[in-house]
Amino acid sequence: MINLSININKVATLRNARGENNPDVEQFAIDCERMGAQGITVHPRPDERHIRYDDVYMLRPLVKTEFNIEGYPSERFMDLVLKVKPEQVTLVPDGPHDLTSSAGWDVEANFAFLSDIIERLNEAGIRSSVFVGTDPDNIRSAARAGADRIELYTKPYADGYETDREAAVAPFIEASMAAHKAGLGVNAGHDLNLKNLQYFASALPYLNEVSIGHAVISDALYMGIEATIKAYRECLKQ
C-alpha cells in the first residue's frame, strides 16, 4: 500500500490571509484523516507564513494516522520536533526565504551535519527521511548517514511527464531500486497531481508514501476535499 499524506500548509496560508481562524487548520487535519488521508504533513518555515509552530503543537494530539514534519533542521526546528515527536521528520535543504523546495540534499557534502541530525532523531524514536534527487550515490550516502527513508524530489518527473513520461520516470525507478537495496524506505513529493500520480506510483517498484499539498488543495476548490482525497487514493491503488 502506498500511503497518501496531505500537506496542509496551503490551508494555513488561507487562514493567515485574514488573521483569524477560518479555515480551522486543526479541524481540517481531522477531517482529512476521516475522509481517508493516511497522514498529515506540515512544513513550518522560520517566518511562519503558513503553518505556525503553535499549530504543530496543537496538531500533535489530534493526528491519529502519521504526522510528518518537514523542514530545514535548524536548532529551532529540532527543538520543535524533539518535543512534538511526530512519526516522521523529513529533512529538506530549504533556505529561510525559499518559496518552496527546489532541490534535494547533496548528502555527501553535508554528511557530518545530516548524520548528527539523524542520530538525534533516531535516539528520540522518530523516523528520519532525507529529501533527495535521483542520484543513486547520493541515496546510498543517505543510508550511510543513518536515514530510515528518502523522499524523492519529483518536480523533474512532473516537468517531463507530458513530453515523455517513460523517460521522466526512469531515473525515479532506478532511485527507488537503489534506495530499497540500501535498506531505505521511499517517499516522494513535489508537483505530483491527478494527471501524473497514477503512472508514477505504478512505475516505481518501491514506494511507501507520497506527500502532496498544493495540488490537493487546488483540486479541492473544484471537487471538494473528500472527493479529492478519494481520487488521489485511487491513483495509488496497486
Interatomic CA distance for residues 75 and 101, integer angstroms: 19
As a whole number of Å, the end-to-end CA separation of the chain is 7
How many Cα neighbours within 13 Å face the side chain of 124? 21
**Residue of 66, 70, 151, 209 with catalytic role:** 70
Q: Which of 33, 43, 151, 209 is catalytic?
A: 43
Rounded to an integer, what distance in angstroms lies between the CA atom of residue 222 and that of residue 101?
26
C-alpha cell at 43: 512544513
* Preceding omega of 23 cis (within 30 degrees of 0): yes
Cell of 222: 473544484
- What distance in Å separates the CA atoms of residue 224 and residue 103, rounded to the nearest whole number? 31
Verify whether residue 70 is a known catalytic residue.
Answer: yes
State yes or no: is 43 an active-site residue. yes
What lies within 8 Å, CB to CB, of 12 at 6+ separation is: 25, 50, 51, 52, 55
| Residue 174 bears catalytic tag | no
Helix (H, G, I), strand (E, B) or coil at 204: coil
Backbone angles phi, psi at 78, to 5 degrees: -65, -40
The one catalytic residue in 50, 151, 190, 209 is: 190
CA distance 116 to 121: 9
Active site residues: 43, 70, 190
